[in-house]
Amino acid sequence: MTTNDTAVSLSGLTKTYKGVTAVDDLTVDIRAGRVTGLLGRNGAGKTTTLRMLLGLAAPTAGTATILGRPYAELPDAAHRVGVSMDGMGGVPGATVRSELRIWCTVLGLPATRADEVMEITGIADAATRPVKGCSTGMRQRLALAAALLADPEVLVLDEPANGLDPDGIRWLRDTLRSLAGEGRTVLVSSHQLAELEQTVDDVVIMQRTLRYAGTLADLTGHGATRLEDRFFELVDPAATSPAAENLAATAPTTPTPSTAAPAAVRTPERITSRA
């Protein structure tokens, strides 16, 4: 796939729990071969969106596809999509290496692949350590190692920087950039705005509904404005700045030529990001 191709597509995606709408009519395309940050406050619907994308929760309305198919219908989905999400339980009593080897068996991969991903994620020295004795940061690296086992085309990562120290955060940033450089699609949810600003190519901001979809460069004026400032302008209902109104409002299908034009063009059918 090229960066002009769509790797993940959400169309009218909605989820309601007991009368409470967690995600409301979310429509966006995510391009292949790029790092895309799914940003929002706690409770904004980020994890719910990822769960619907991965077939772990049924949408109330709308559709979510990966590589052109719903996850449940995607051939070799477990090999083509690597996942790291909170709540993915480990194997009781397992060491770092043995847990990865168990996943190798499940995925039909050689046991040696476990050692390869431990090297990639920097946890080879902890191979014999019981998982229950690992720090939060070490478990995050282990989760990413498991997601990489099958050499997937798409990575879906939910808050992967949680628990990482500064060295770990820098390592994660370099790793995600490297994976995208190899042509993989990386979709990462986070509320750590300063860190993601140094990592992502594209941004999707949501607060139950879609607030922005497009390139980071267009959102921040190529670094003239901080991502954090733009984020709060878009998610804060009280924000009244011209920039917030310009980005949040429905844009014309053919924007007028301007260096300040918003990155996302909204049509009745879909929001697509301009390169």
- Give backbone dihedrals phi and psi of 207, rounded to 5 degrees, phi first: -145, 75
Could you tell me how far CA 212 lies from the centroid of its own chain?
A: 15
How high is the pLDDT of residue 88? Answer: 66
169-201 pLDDT, tens digit per residue, is 999 999 999 999 999 999 999 888 988 999 999
Whole-model pTM: value is 0.84
35-53 pLDDT, tens digit per residue, is 999 999 989 999 999 999 9
Helical spans, DSSP H, in the chain: 46-53, 77-80, 96-107, 112-121, 136-148, 166-181, 193-197, 216-220, 227-235, 242-248
Q: Which amino acid is at 74?
A: L
Residue extents of the structural domains in the chain: 1-67+188-193+203-275
> Where does residue 222 fall: left (phi above 0), alpha (psi -120 to 50 degrees), or beta otherwise?
left
Average per-residue pLDDT for the chain: 86
Q: How many Cα atoms are found within 13 Å in the side-chain-facing hemisphere of 40?
A: 25
76-116 pLDDT, tens digit per residue, is 999 999 999 876 667 788 999 999 999 999 999 999 999 99
Measured distance CA(233)–CA(241) in Å, rounded: 7
Task: Find the length of the chain.
Answer: 275
CB 135 within 8 A of CB 167: no
Mean pLDDT, residues 215-232: 96
Highest mean pLDDT among 7-16, 240-249, 263-272: 7-16
β-strands 61-66, 6-17: how paired?
antiparallel
pLDDT above 70: residue 264? no
- Give backbone dihedrals phi and psi of 81, rounded to 5 degrees, phi first: -125, 120
Q: What is the percent of the chain with per-residue pLDDT over 70, rounded to a whole number?
A: 83
Measured distance CA(220)–CA(130) in Å, rounded: 43
